[in-house]
Amino acid sequence: MNIKTSAPGKLMLFGEHAVVYGYPCIVTTVSPRIYVEVEKTSGLLKIDSPQFKDTRFVQETVKLFCEKYNVNNNLLIKTHSDFSSQYGFGSSSAVTVATILALSKLFQTEISKKEVFDLGYKVVINVQGVGSGFDIAAAVFGGTIYFVTGGKVIEPLFVKNLSLVIGYSGVKADTSSIVKNLEFRIHNSESEYKKIFEKIGKIVEEAKISLVKNDWKTTGELMNKNHRLLQELGVSTEKLDKMCHAAINVGAFGAKLSGAGGGDCMIALASSNKIKKVELAIIKAGGEIINVKCNI
């Protein structure tokens, strides 16, 4: 029997970094997905993953799943992705979740969404050592969600017509080293960072309301505020700042980096009649437009 599953990528809307330290964030899914195919074999575990050299997430998922459900790992696993891992859309979390779903179908194990999340989050921590789990939650639950560290709260938000422009900065960010670097800096002046995280936490609470109300003006202002606090945390780059400024200058409601910073993507919120202008401004600032649908 051959089982096929898939899981979506994600984009962080608000609250990155603070969410690692117990604060909330808001994340949304994107249309590109990662597909996983599994079948039982008579041989050893084989992972056929031509697009990703790093198969640690699939390996760790198989290990934890087989231990938990007491099944053997004579498996052939194939992965395929709609998107490049360089954009920071969460290919590792999506492949982890799609693999858990495929294995639970193959072995006919009853597994709730929360259990998929818990197992997936364990995989992330075992492989990366750091992370809030927001990306796993997005891949499991889909849509736009309000999330608190480690899955303490996972709440779907009903957001309609989220009109985002996504600009790739051309630089691949290494999330775990950025998170670890910040952790090191926090050690030296904890109270200063706590103040920034508290401000980010407040922005997330306000955005939770403005997003559901379709209040794009307020949401855009909150994005700008969140970006400034990420600059204070020292995780933005000149290129990301330039792309955000460019988008705001031509009429975007707001813009911010999305994810760990240090590269990857920025997002701009814009009304449909401004999208083209915002896209061109981001390109002029050196970015590449990634055409995906959000909130899937």
> At its nearest, how many Å lie between ligand MEV and the CB of residue 18?
7
216 binds ligand MEV (CB under 6 A): no
Q: Which is nearer to ligand MEV, 104 or 258 (by Cβ)? A: 258
**Residue tagged active-site, from 48, 54, 82, 135:** 135
266 binds ligand MEV (CB under 6 A): no
**Binding residue count for ligand MEV, defined by CB under 6 A:** 12
Distance CA 262, CA 229 (A): 14
35 beta partners: 6, 80
Task: Please choose, out of 13-21, 50-58, 59-67, 154-162, the segment that lies near ligand MEV by the rule CB under 6 A.
Answer: 13-21
20 binds ligand MEV (CB under 6 A): yes
Give the ranges where the chain is alpha helix by DSSP (H).
56-69, 91-106, 113-128, 134-141, 175-188, 190-212, 216-233, 238-249, 275-284
Nearest to 211 by CA among 51, 28, 70: 28
Per CB under 6 A, the list member of 134, 193, 197, 253 interacting with ligand MEV is: 134
Our answer to whether residue 135 is catalytic in this structure is yes
Per CB under 6 A, the list member of 131, 150, 167, 287 interacting with ligand MEV is: 131
> Do the beta carbons of residue 208 and residue 26 sit within 8 Å?
yes
Task: Please choose, out of 15-23, 39-47, 212-220, 266-274, the segment that lies near ligand MEV by the rule CB under 6 A.
Answer: 15-23
Both tokens assigned to 144 = 């736009």
Distance CA 73, CA 95 (A): 17
Site string for ligand MEV, 28-67 (x = CB under 6 A): ----------------------------------------
255 binds ligand MEV (CB under 6 A): no
Residues with Cβ within 8 Å of 166's Cβ and at least 6 positions away in sequence, in order, are 11, 258, 265, 266, 267, 289, 290, 291, 292
Distance CA 80, CA 49 (A): 7
Give the ranges where 46-170 is alpha helix by DSSP (H).
56-69, 91-106, 113-128, 134-141
Q: Which is nearer to ligand MEV, 233 or 268 (by Cβ)? A: 233
Question: Which positions lie near ligand MEV, rule CB under 6 A?
Answer: 12, 16-17, 19-20, 131-132, 134, 175, 179, 259-260
Residue positions annotated with a catalytic role: 135
